[in-house]
A and B are shown apart, each in its own frame.
Chain A
């Protein structure tokens, strides 16, 4: 499910349909392959950086 509208002209701040994400439902894997979710890693704020390919 894409949360964001994709009709923005550039990569600046974009409009969001639903500005609140359920972080406990965004599952990822740690380096050992164990399932985790973003909520576990959040403090007051969370900066999530999505990489492109590994370089």
Chain B
């Protein structure tokens, strides 16, 4: 039975009895021993691997709320505001002005064959408050001939040029709601919501969710490897809605070249429709019995509301500071209880998307009711995103055994907008209340919602520790947590919420040999430098995966 001893400058274990070490022995893909090389050699003959001699090994990051759809962000010309990492290790540069965006579109235009529609992705108007609304007139500066389709980051809008309007016959007589018009009554190029977006038939077919396509798994796994993530959770799993895709997904995840463990929380039904939750939970139990080491099906994902920056999250009084409240409740309180009950009874935990504190309250109420009927005390149901959860709610969550997975990346990506446009500065300081959660005793994780922000744990850690916005403001210094607490959240904390902390989350004898290989320890650097730490790659089940390092950028 071959044993490998990985030697490192430092091993940070997140295991209290052996917090640091200089060597890890691995056998059968699992951690055999942690300590000095000599201590590890107590297990007999071993190969000593010095690849990481000047690196820091930490437990592989566990993403407990991501989406493999991030593979598609990189598949089209990118016009998002922030830089976006690509699987080959390069970075798609963010556009900081309309001029930048038009330059990016012109570059893409020059590379496309004539006549082919130019698709661009991830434009976010919330970052351009001083610019006029993006219309066909802007895009016509790139081309009036070639159809151009710019999909917004929210997924709810697209802006198209005159060439596309003409090609698809979208004119002033178009009866479809959502075709925005200028003062002259002609379409101005903005297509709002799915029905209007679908009028751009070619572009719509390409960009509409290639839902549950297994090909995204491999690309997502490369993005994980480049960011030190060794377990990634697809939180809108489709195995219950589209069971026919299970084999292809398992094959993609189990392929030896796929450098990540995939965990799925599956939706009982398409968002916006109901399900027989008992039958769905039975199917989930059967699915979990077919788990393999790198492909794991867990409990249920419920989506209870929309987003805060889209004004579709459901908030308790006093609600949004500006902007119309479009709060969308996506499940009724009664159905939420039913769904929680069905999975809880089968000892599968439920992760509920609750951006608004009104939906957090609804979910906490549901868990309380079900728990009173059926005392599974270690359920670990999770309030996901938990962006506006209030102190009294965290207090209840602690009593009821709920965990929080907080979307801390918002502090940097949208913190300024939350302070000025959604909740106002006072309540924005209380969003992503990591300190409150920990002090109340709520188990904590931090996530990226990959596809919305780039996969990787260093940025969510940096945000939770520093609470600095893009504009440079400190947003809620009293909700800061320590680097150790943040690292715990993205390793042990995340594993706990997945009911996998017996297996992953720390470098500890008996657990899987899943490591992130870093240039520095996040516990040793200046907290403001945490997100700049270089990631060499990962080790997953003892197999080494090195990230590419081209050191260049593309746009």
Q: Do A and B bind each other?
A: no
Q: Report A's interface with B, CB cutoff 8 A.
A: none
Q: Report B's interface with A, CB cutoff 8 A.
A: none
